Structure 1
Amino acid sequence: MSIPTLSRRTALLGLAAALPIAGARAQTGDWPSRPIRWVNPGPAGGAGDVISRLVGDRLQARLGQPVVVDNRPGAGTNIGMTQVARAAPDGYTVGLATIAANAANKWLYRSMPFDPEKDFAAVGLIALVPNIVVIPPAVPARTLQEFITWAKAQGRPINFGSVGAGSSQHLAGSQFQIITGLQLQHLPYTNSGQMNTDLIEGRIDMLFQSISAVTQMAQAGRMRPIAVSGTARVSAFPDLPTMQEQGVDITSTGWFGLCTPAGVPEPILARLDTELQAIVQDPALAQRLTASGAIPRAMGRADFTRFMAEESAKWRVVIEAVGAKVD
């Protein structure tokens, strides 16, 4: 017995309508059904590591699967983010997006192992991280302008350290050089502890450093804070003026967000976006981030994609102005 034409057409239409749903289920399955790897492209104990673990723990609780932080530092965050870019786009690998890998490095490195625009999918911003300017106790300056006057009188390049090329500290130093006209020599470190020691002992002249990395030493008088970047003062040093307040118009900060490899199915990205925004807006997390020197800043996928593009364009100008390059 043949199926009536109308019934056959209805059946075909029903089958066609069901295909997208079946396809979405095939893509996402029961995600997540196993642990998620969170790649931090910076060192253990750094600001990115702290943020990865704070947010990763909360993401684990919300998804019901372990979120395992995997520190993969090196090459200005390029090593870790290469692993993210090359991972299977199945939602089981995420990466900590940074100002280096996702904005500055393409203008610094002569050869890049990934394309920051094409090889990642944005999930959302987590936090802004202002830098604090610290100098050795032996330098007589007490303010940023006094330090500039001292630096100009030295008759030599002023050394400044950072955690690596493309880091927010390196970029802040490059901006500082352009605005003040000082001749600066960038010294990239792989070990933040050694960098702090070299500053304390006077082997380098200044640092743009993450607040959490130097708070105890600065409060103990082992190094002298003279300014913070960003648009507002920070809770750890409420009496310390910003660079802008002291006549040096640097308000840029480091930042951290979440991304995945390109090609992750839309339903998974949407779920990660929803969960991340809820986590970042949680008052308990905000308190922990603020205590570590960060400023919580929730931003969804579309806005975060635009934000990273704007950051890339901004730092291209600075990097080209100082002629910075990494082979």
Structure 2
Amino acid sequence: MAAIRRAAPATVLACVLVAASAACAGDRSSGGSADADKYPTKDLHLIVHAAAGGASDMTARALATEMEKDLGRSIVVENRPGASGSTAMKYLASAKADGYTIGYLPVEVSMLGHRGYEVKPGSYTLLGQVVNVPAVVVVPGKSEHKTLDDLVKAAKAEPGEVSVANSGPGSIWEAATTLLGKQAGATFKPVPFDGGAPAVAAAGGGKVDAAVAGVSEVAPLLKDGRVRALAVLDGERSKQLPDVPTGKEQGHDVTVGGWGGIGAPGGLPAPVAQKLREAVRKAAQSPGFTRTLTNAGAVPTYRSAEDFATFAEQEYARFGGVLKSAGS
């Protein structure tokens, strides 16, 4: 009996360990799969790097509205501005990879790593690109520069003297100016402002020779003639600015824009990632989302998760050289 009493605890312990091991294995396989099949079972949070009311916030909310229809759950948009957008992007990267925290990833996800922030495209499970806002080059309404080539020739004649307003050091519109200069072999004088709209206003007031910003930011001043658009730096003309030629049409093949997409923390379970990717695809191609973005001057641009991941890494490599040469 004594021997049996001594053996019993060990036997019981072994059974407990075996049962626990089996339970854990079930959580990782069949149980985990079952949970993924039921996903989502609660509301989601969509993290946005910008304050409410801006272009990124508008895009995120419009997409969330469409994604809710497919997922059958509410998506709560959570604005976390700060530190050039890195606050939100770092928060997203560190969140639990369960599919309940996703985020809007702007072009800066491919830029901030070159400015000392711990933000890189590879930190996320990318779910798809949804938008692009092409750069537009504008000059004061009464400027002597009638074409993009006029502006480039002036910059070549007087390197560093032709002032071009942008949305700040390390911003996408500063990068656009730098890319144009590198392609054309010209040196512009960058003049930073706190956003694209103030940069365009400076051009409208004749304080700078030109400005680079997005379509929605230049549209108000274009209408009243305070600025004139010389080029859209995109592969094709803007539907909002059909009379404005692209840079390529004028011999300056530069394509750059303020793109954005949706991502989640790295390591997202495959079944959950697939559901989210499909929801993003449907939302990004929906009539409601397309109409909202088009009316705002943005270009609905869908790229699959795989293509978006490749594109974001290519942009990361491209902006490395651009931001270094810009001194950002």
TM-score interval for Structure 1 and Structure 2 normalised by the shorter chain = 0.7 to 0.9
* Alignment map for 1:6-45 (pairs within 5 Å): 20-26=29-35, 28=36, 30-45=38-53
TM-score for both structures, normalised by structure 1? 0.83
What amino acid does structure 2 have at the position aligned with 1:25? A
Alpha-carbon distance, 1:187 to partner: 3.5
Q: Write out per-residue CA displacement over residues 158-193 of structure 1, whole angstroms, 9 at most, x where no aligned residue.
A: 333333444331221111121233322333433444
- Give the Å deviation of 1:284: 3.7
Structure 2 residue aligned with 1:104: 111
Which amino acid in structure 2 is aligned with residue 287 of structure 1? R
Say yes or no: does 1:262 pair with 2:269. Answer: no
Counterpart Cα distance in 1 of 2:193 and 2:87: 16
Larger displacement relative to structure 2 (270-279 or 198-207)? 198-207
Structure 1 or 2: more helix by fraction: 2
The residue number in structure 2 matching 1:113 is: 118
Distance (Å, rounded) in 2 between the aligned partners of 1:18 and 1:35: 22
Distance 1:254 1:303 in 2: 17
Give, in whole Å, the separation in 1 of the partners of 2:70 and 2:125.
21
Residue 64 of structure 2 aligns to which amino acid in structure 1? G
1:214 to 211, 215, 218: 218
Residue 232 of structure 2 aligns with an amino acid whose one-letter code is V
User: What is the identity, as a one-letter code, of the residue corresponding to 1:289?
Assistant: L
- 1:53 deviates by 1.6
Q: Which residue among 303, 306, 327 is the counterpart of 1:324? A: 327
Q: 1:191 to 1:20 in 2, by over 3 A?
A: same
RMSD over aligned Cα atoms: 2.8
TM-score, length basis structure 2: 0.83
| Maintained 8 Å contact 1:127/1:295 | yes
Residue 238 of structure 1 aligns with which residue? 242
Q: Aligned equivalents of 1:84 and 1:16: distance in 2?
A: 28
Q: Could you tell me whether the CA contact under 8 Å between 1:76 and 1:165 is conserved in 2? A: no
Q: Which amino acid aligns with 1:83?
A: Y
Partner deviation per Cα, 1:45-78 (whole Å, 9 max, x = no partner)? 4332221121111112322322222333333322
Contact kept in structure 2, 1:99 and 1:167, CA below 8 Å: no
Task: Please give the alpha-carbon distance, in whole angstroms, between the structure 2 residues aligned to 1:253 and 1:193.
Answer: 15
Aligned equivalents of 1:20, 1:35: Cα separation in 2? 24
How far did 1:194 drift? 2.9
CA contact (8 A) 2:145 2:151 kept: yes
2:149 maps to what in 1?
Answer: 145
SS at match of 1:88: coil
**Cα separation, partners in 2 of 1:75 and 1:139, compared to 1, 3 Å:** farther
Shift in Å at residue 17 of structure 1?
A: 8.2
Q: Which amino acid aligns with 2:271?
A: P
The Cα shift of 1:149 comes to 3.2
Do the aligned partners of residues 197 and 253 (structure 1) sit closer, same or farther apart at CA in structure 2, a change above 3 Å counting? Answer: closer
2:202 to 184, 198, 204: 198
Aligned counterpart, 2:103: 95
Return 5+ residue gaps in structure 2 as ranges: 1-21
Given that residues 37 and 271 in structure 2 are in contact (C-alpha distance below 8 angstroms), is that contact kept between their aligned partners in structure 1?
no
